[in-house]
Amino acid sequence: MNPPSQARRAPSHLHVLYRTHPGSNNKSRPPWYTRGVALSSLRLALEAVSTPTTITFIGDGGLPPDLEPLIRPNERIIHIHAGTVASSYRKAVRVAQRLAKRDDGNSLYWIAEDDYLYRPTAMLSLVKAALLAPAGTCFTLYKPDDRQWHASHPSQPLRPVPQLEQPVVCAGLTWQRISSSTSTVGMMTSDVLTDARTLRLVSFTGAPFDGPCYLVCQGISPYDLSHLFADIDAGSGPRALAKAVVKPAMRVTCNTLAARHRRSNRVVLSPETDLATHMEIGNMSDDYDWAALADWVVKGGQPTASPHVIN
């Protein structure tokens, strides 16, 4: 399938909404991981982009100490008190929605988490793909391999999607359709305005919320209702009881919303080779030397620092 094509213009502005917080979590990280490396890799990737770019930091409860010195005087900081990843994501989507209502109708929004490492060509490839992709496209630079997770969670089976009849090819890369994404994604103005309410609503399903968000927008039901009550975190007390009641209801709501979106022609596209990676052990693709890239970033992106890291 291919969504109906519409005349595209190159994005007039790139808005990066960078979500961060001062705390940490229990994720298993590579030894070269820091949030400073993540932000610096994004800045190096943005140097290749001629499109006017604005970075807005969305700090949940403050900013990490290693990021504060890297934020430039002309960059905006929005302080929020979200408390959860899903709530922070909803606030970032709302910021994108407010900006989209005021822009020229042709901006590209990159809603980003703070633990991604970007290849030097990542953001330029994203901007080029936004020009060539069909209307209604959501972009990601990274494909999570979550097959094992889906296999062990019957309530959320892996949902295959048909490929585009005419794949998007730019800068030597083929962009393929995938079923869903993480919460680090790109959307054009019209898609932000169309999907913001749905994305915020679906995120109330609880973790993991990002996959269901982008399945629903594509008109794909994320939940197997024959396992409606499966995979709900066990526990005791009022919070656990609330989860046991609310989660199944939200799952039914999500599938209902997906049915309403089946004619929306939304797709999620990702490059065949990851242009960024989530810096978490077990979730990084093995077709690129991410450690060498991190070293290159630490050394300031100098060509002689790591000659084989060139794209």
* CATH number of 142's domain: 3.90.550
Q: Is residue 273 part of a domain?
A: yes
Query: Residues of the chain whose pLDDT is less than 50?
Result: 4-5, 7, 304-308
Q: Is residue 308 part of a domain?
A: no
Which residue pairs from 301-306 have beta carbons closer than 8 angstroms and sit at least 24 positions apart in sequence? 301/40, 301/44, 301/47, 301/120
- Residue 127, pLDDT score: 96
- Locate 21 and state its tokens: 């917080």
Residues of the domain holding 289: 13-298
Q: Is residue 304 part of a domain?
A: no
- Residue 4, pLDDT score: 47
**Distance in Å from the first CA to the final CA of the chain:** 31
- Residue 307, pLDDT score: 43
The CA-based dihedral angle spanning residues 138, 91, 216, 9, taken in that order and rounded to the nearest 10 degrees:
-20
Total domain count, the chain = 1
Q: Is residue 1 part of a domain?
A: no
- Find tokens 């730019």 and name the residue: 170
Q: Is residue 283 part of a domain?
A: yes
Q: Is residue 4 part of a domain?
A: no
- Residue 309, pLDDT score: 53
Q: Is residue 305 part of a domain?
A: no
- Residue 310, pLDDT score: 53
Secondary structure class of 115 (helix, strand, coil): coil
Under 8 Å between Cβ of 51 and 91: no
Q: Is residue 258 part of a domain?
A: yes
> How many degrees, rounded to 5, is the angle at CA 18 between CA 264 and CA 109?
35
